[in-house]
Amino acid sequence: LVSKKWKINRTIIDLGDDVTIGGNELAIMAGPCSIENEAQIENTVQHLLKNNIKIMRGGVYKPRSSPYAFRGLGMDGLKLFYKHCKENGIKVITEVMQVSQVEEMLDYVDVFQVGARNSQNFNLLDVLGEVDKPVLIKRGMSGTIEELLASAEYVFSNGNEKLLLCERGIRTYENAYRNTLDLNAIPILKEKSHLPVIVDPSHGIGLRQHVATMALAGVVAGADGIIIEVHEQPENAFSDGQQTLYYEQAEELYRKAKVLFQNI
């Protein structure tokens, strides 16, 4: 069902209020790795408004390698996050980690994100197939392209056709950077599937100084959108500061990415 053999026209995801993903405008989703507090939300919203960005990312349930690391503000954080975004016409994308969270999150989310670690959580995918909200599925840490498409198939076959595929880097033997952003996956996914493809260079390379370059490379490769970690003070971010852009860096990237998208 996610294959081009099934549907010839490319899928466009409509988030309402004229916010679409997969059309002839580059979709930009930006925000912190983790939602930290209300001031940070307000600050990020101002940054997005200034740059005409309509979708804010931010985790409230964080999959962390260490149980002692910051694991997110949970539903209290999500409610604040959603409230500020809603007031300002911004859509919310955030990660859902388990089946039991889906229902309570439903009214405070515009796009559900399935993280790399949950890319093959088939029970979660089944349940997300029954909701009326778009779902962005990240490629698994060591997932193949076929496995990502099969994960999307779980959601689609349960009735939810509003899907986005995300390349966020895979684990390889290379350790000069966090993950290996597989740019090859982008044209292949677009060839195989009618679903929009999003590139996440923040997790894909994991090094702030190279995130913008890889985002632009992703656009050239055919991505319909980019998802980027930004923070007013990345060095003080609760998670993923090393790969998080300063606002000025992000602004330069948004400008370049939009121009590039229109010219390829």
- The site for Mn ion (CB under 5 A) is made up of 33, 240
Cα dist from 13 to 25, 100, 161, 188, whole Å: 12, 25, 9, 20
Q: Which of 15, 28, 92, 116 binds ligand PEP (CB under 6 A)?
A: 116
The secondary structure of 198-238 as a DSSP string is EE-HHHHH--HHHHHHHHHHHHHHT-SEEEEEB-SSGGG-S
> Which amino acid appears at position 83 of this protein?
K
Residue 178 engages ligand PEP in binding (rule: CB under 6 A): no
Count of C-beta atoms within a 10 Å radius of residue 256: 15
Cα dist from 38 to 1, 18, 85, 137, whole Å: 41, 26, 11, 27
Give just the sign of the alpha carbon dihedral 72, 75, 80, 82: positive
Cβ–Cβ under 8 Å, residues 240 and 71: no
**Residue whose beta carbon is closest to ligand PEP:** 115
As measured in angstroms, the least distance from the Cβ of 203 to ligand PEP is 4
Residue 71 engages ligand PEP in binding (rule: CB under 6 A): no
SS3 150: helix
84 binds, among ligand PEP, Mn ion, none (CB under 5 to 8 A by kind): none
Residue 231 engages ligand PEP in binding (rule: CB under 6 A): no
Closer Cβ to ligand PEP, 116 or 189, answer by number = 116
CA angle (221, 114, 235) in 5-degree steps: 75
Closer Cβ to ligand PEP, 62 or 84, answer by number = 62
> Which amino acid appears at position 238 of this protein?
F
Residue 54 engages ligand PEP in binding (rule: CB under 6 A): no
Residue 128 engages ligand PEP in binding (rule: CB under 6 A): no
Cβ–Cβ under 8 Å, residues 181 and 150: no
Q: Which of 203, 225, 231, 257 binds ligand PEP (CB under 6 A)?
A: 203
218 binds, among Mn ion, ligand PEP, none (CB under 5 to 8 A by kind): none
As measured in angstroms, the least distance from the Cβ of 106 to ligand PEP is 20
Taking CB under 6 A as the binding criterion, the range among 4-12, 97-105, 109-117, 245-253 that sits at the site for ligand PEP is 109-117
φ, ψ for residue 184 (rounded to 5)?
A: -60, -30
As measured in angstroms, the least distance from the Cβ of 142 to ligand PEP is 12
48 binds, among ligand PEP, Mn ion, none (CB under 5 to 8 A by kind): none
Q: What angle, 0 to 180 degrees and rounded to 10, lies between the N-to-C axes of helices 38-50 and 247-262?
A: 40
Residue 125 engages ligand PEP in binding (rule: CB under 6 A): no
Q: Which of 72, 115, 143, 225 binds ligand PEP (CB under 6 A)?
A: 115
How many residues touch ligand PEP under the rule CB under 6 A: the total is: 9
Closer Cβ to ligand PEP, 9 or 66, answer by number = 66
Give contact residues for ligand PEP (rule: CB under 6 A): 33, 59, 63, 115-117, 138, 168, 203
